Amino acid sequence: MAVSTCVVLGACACGPEKSEEDTSTTAKPSHPSAPARSEEPSASPRAEKPSAEAPAEPTGDQSAPRTKEGAVQRYEQYLHAVGREDITTVCEVAGPAAKQAEDQGFGPCTSTFVVTFQMISPAQKKALRTATVDPQRVEVLTPAKVEIPTDAIKASVTFSESDLGSSTLEYLKNNWYITD
């Protein structure tokens, strides 16, 4: 249950006001770090903390298809990053939710999620590195918003609602992001 609490605090606290703000324009100067990460992926100070496997998957600097399959792929990228303790990718994918949690006083994603990593068992982390999502269990709420329930996660260990919780992903700025 403690893992779920940290995941909720770190990744599931965004409301609709963030979505409206992000969909109202295609590019905002308030997020200049995304292009910088794509230009210097191995030079980033944050890239030193993740394991050697961290660069194995691309981050959100590339656009993704605005489809259920695109959302599933993006969420799998997030799950794998959690399993690898890749804080850069986790905070990038969960950016909108993490920003709202930070605004509510929970601290920056890079701090709150490090605590979450410590609460996930080694067996769960290993399972998350290869977890997949059953697309048939993903609910399309709108063309730009999907709900991925915990029972859609297929892994070598079973995750309960209290372990991970369901996630809402929204298509913002040409990619899928966890917003709730």
For residue range 35-62, list pLDDT tens digits in order: 333 333 333 333 333 333 333 444 445 6
Average pLDDT over residues 98-110: 89
Percentage above 90 pLDDT, the chain = 48
Of 179, 180, 174, nearest to 28 (Cα)? 174
Cβ pair 61, 37 in contact under 8 A: yes
- d(CA 145, CA 56) in angstroms, rounded, equals 26
Average pLDDT over residues 74-80: 97
- Residue 75: burial class (beta carbons within 10 Å; 0-12, 13-18, 19+): buried
- With tokens 């410590």, the residue in question is 118
Mean pLDDT of the chain: 74
Q: What is the pLDDT of residues 24-33, one digit of tens each?
A: 333 333 333 3
The whole-model pTM stands at 0.68
User: Which pLDDT does position 93 carry in this prediction?
Assistant: 96
- With tokens 């929204």, the residue in question is 170
Residue 153 clears pLDDT 70, i.e. is over it: yes
**What three-state secondary structure class fits 31?**
coil
